[in-house]
Amino acid sequence: MKDFSQITDYIKSLYPEMDPVLLHCPQFLGNEKKYLNECIDTKFVSYVSHFVTDMEEQIKKLTGAKCAVAMVSGTEALHMAFVAAGVKPGEEVISQPLTFAATSAVIVNCGAIPVYVDVDRDTMGMSPKALKDFLENNTKQAGGKCINKNTGRVISACVPMHTFGHPCRIDEIRTICDEHNLMLIEDAAESVGSFYKGKHTGTFGKVSILSFNGNKTLTTGGGGMLLTDDEELAARAKYLSTTAKEPAKWGYYHKEVGWNLRMPGVNAAIGAAQLEYFDKIIENKRETAQMYKKFFDGLGIPFVTEPENSRANYWLNAILLKDRAEREEFLEYTNSNGVQTRPIWTLMYKMPPYEHCERTDMTNSEWLEDHLVNIPSSVRTSI
């Protein structure tokens, strides 16, 4: 086994308050407790709390999106994005295999079928070239719809993901989707605070989502947000996620089957407080990334940096090791010596629920799976 002690010692020096050093530990450095107490004192702790609408307004200002609908999780926000956008059971949705399982799970839980295209090695997000090649070689247009010639099914949407907060080439993907009559649904779960060509991620597609899970750059403990410029779509998502209850003074009447997926006020109170110093959170995380880059450059180990034309939030920092064997040695040593690290996700098509799904050549995804490791990325508490 190689000597990785220099790396663990350096990481521990960045986070002297943590033992062990966690991968991404939430920090509460503002008015979180104050606002949480205020929410409790109002007795309005559910989605009717003003903190929910306050947070929605703050996210709209941060991202530039016209509409924001707070949900209980990023996963359910993506679910509502699919439903409100009109993705139907039996249709196909193009995704990437290098992602957290929730992306694929939502596709399947909506009755749709994932199709996987490769990622770019530098962005770790969907490759426009792989997407274009697949569509040009395997689909046709009929009645304004994109048809998979291999299966005969309609491909209705494309869901790229901004991996670890690093924006993919989302403008190129949008152009390709427009050319092939595909809805662009952005999975921006990991990229709150990230920008591509001056625009916040999640504002390129018809609809998108953010995640505020406990380990995210901005956290509400559990929560997510649906973003769109389409007011009708936003209203539809809000209606369906609020049990599809018809407006009334006191009655209960439902014309449709809905879901109960709106973010509670107690969660939004935490998020509203974090948004007050969110610029400092991003500044802190970008500074940490620069420190890591300088350190790993000295060791000759590639550190993953933001792609061209991007300003990333550096949600999870990552390094690239020589091969899978070195990756396993590194994971064993660091996790056994007080520093939490993890490999990138197992590729979706290597897991039983998705192994039957159609896919392109996966050279870049498989290379990243073999080489990439995430390292501790929490906000350092000296902000």
**Over its length of 383 residues, how does the chain's per-residue pLDDT go in tens digits?**
578 999 999 999 999 999 999 999 999 999 999 999 999 999 999 999 999 999 999 999 999 999 999 999 999 999 999 999 999 999 999 999 999 999 999 999 999 999 999 999 999 999 999 999 999 999 999 999 999 999 999 999 999 999 999 999 999 999 999 999 999 999 999 999 999 999 999 999 999 999 999 999 999 999 999 999 999 999 999 999 999 999 988 899 999 999 999 999 999 999 999 999 999 999 999 999 999 999 999 999 999 999 999 999 999 999 999 999 999 999 999 999 999 999 999 999 999 999 999 999 999 999 999 999 999 999 998 65
- The rounded Cα 218 to chain-centroid distance in angstroms is 12
Q: Is residue 383 part of a domain?
A: no
Residue-number span of the structural domain to which 150 is assigned = 32-275
Q: Is residue 270 part of a domain?
A: yes
* Residues 125 and 227 grouped into a single domain: yes
Name the domain boundary from 244, 259, 275.
Answer: 275
* Residues 232 and 287 grouped into a single domain: no
* Residues 170 and 43 grouped into a single domain: yes
Q: Is residue 99 part of a domain?
A: yes
Q: Is residue 107 part of a domain?
A: yes
Structural element, H or E, at residue 170 = helix 170-179
* Residues 220 and 253 grouped into a single domain: yes
- Point out which residues pair with 153 in neighbouring strands: none
Structural element, H or E, at residue 329 = helix 324-336
* Residues 305 and 180 grouped into a single domain: no
* Residues 191 and 329 grouped into a single domain: no
Q: Is residue 331 part of a domain?
A: yes
* Residues 42 and 173 grouped into a single domain: yes
Name the domain boundary from 248, 275, 302.
Answer: 275
d(CA 236, CA 69): 10
| Tokens coding 363 | 């050279």
* Residues 146 and 239 grouped into a single domain: yes
For position 313, which CATH number holds? 3.90.1150.10
* Residues 302 and 246 grouped into a single domain: no
* Residues 16 and 46 grouped into a single domain: no
Number of domains in the chain: 2
**Cβ–Cβ < 8 Å for 79, 207:** no
Handedness of CA 208, 212, 216, 219 (dihedral sign): positive
* Residues 248 and 356 grouped into a single domain: no
Taking alpha carbons only, the member of 90, 59, 7 closest to residue 200 is 59
Question: Considering the entire predicted model, what is its pTM?
Answer: 0.95
State the Cα torsion 302-308-309-314 to the nearest 10°: -20
